[in-house]
Amino acid sequence: MSKHNATPEEIRDSLEEDIKTNAITLNGMLVFNHRDLPHDFPELMTEVLQKRFEEVGERYGVPDASDLYIVADGAEARWYVMSKSTRMPVGSAPITAQSLAAVREEHRKAETDAYFAERAARVEFWRRAAEERHWARQSVARWAYEALRDSYDEDYTDYQQRLRDSLLTPHERAERHREIARKRLKTFYHDYLEQMHSSHRPLHKC
């Protein structure tokens, strides 16, 4: 027994529970979760390792992607890729939190593109319906087409703008926000002057 009066079985169970709580398994190797890893870390890292294998695996004598594992770089949120069979690094570039975020963004973009593709197909369906249906139902089909088209155009334009904004530097993004604010102020001032002009316009006598 230990000094805490725990049996070997109790010590083993405690260690197993600690591992389950504070570590994840990736390609059969433990990765300790002391950096508050995101919930999708295993899926993202597995995809990044697959890409690393496809890019340089043959050059480093790696048999397949499951042979790869990661080693944390101290307290930094970055990991180096190693081979279980050769016990050597596979590539010199570390995997960073930014690498994982890029993969997550690719997934999100693919899902969003699929969503808009489905909406575009629905718009096209009602456009054809508005042209082909019997005249008694044509007005309903045209109303549905125009409503879906306008909603799609507005949402897709906003989505494309957000994609462009995501590529801007912090300085460029701040400048864009300032430009938007200037345009809104200009529009507000123009509307205000129009309103003031209308309120002071003399009434016509009958």
Instruction: Report the alpha-carbon distance of residue 12 to residue 33 in Å, rounded.
Output: 20
On whether the CB atoms of residues 94 and 109 are closer than 8 A, the answer is no
User: Would you say how long the chain is, in residues?
Assistant: 206
Q: What is the pLDDT of residues 108-118, one digit of tens each?
A: 889 999 999 99
On whether the CB atoms of residues 70 and 81 are closer than 8 A, the answer is yes
Provide CB contacts within 8 A for 119, sequence distance 6+: 148, 152, 155, 156
On whether the CB atoms of residues 103 and 48 are closer than 8 A, the answer is yes
Query: By three-state DSSP, how is residue 60 classified?
Result: coil
Sequence-ordered strand ranges (E) for 43-152: 68-72, 78-83, 95-96
Rounded mean pLDDT, 71-82: 82
Rounded mean pLDDT, 183-193: 80
Q: What is the pTM of this model?
A: 0.58
Closest CA to 197 of 187, 189, 185, 205: 189
- Give the pLDDT band (50/70/90) at residue 1: very low
On whether the CB atoms of residues 87 and 116 are closer than 8 A, the answer is no
The share of the chain scoring above pLDDT 90, in percent, equals 28
Q: Phi and psi for 26 in degrees, rounded to 5? A: -135, 115
On whether the CB atoms of residues 90 and 56 are closer than 8 A, the answer is yes
On whether the CB atoms of residues 78 and 95 are closer than 8 A, the answer is yes
Burial class (CB in 10 A: 0-12, 13-18, 19+), 104: middle
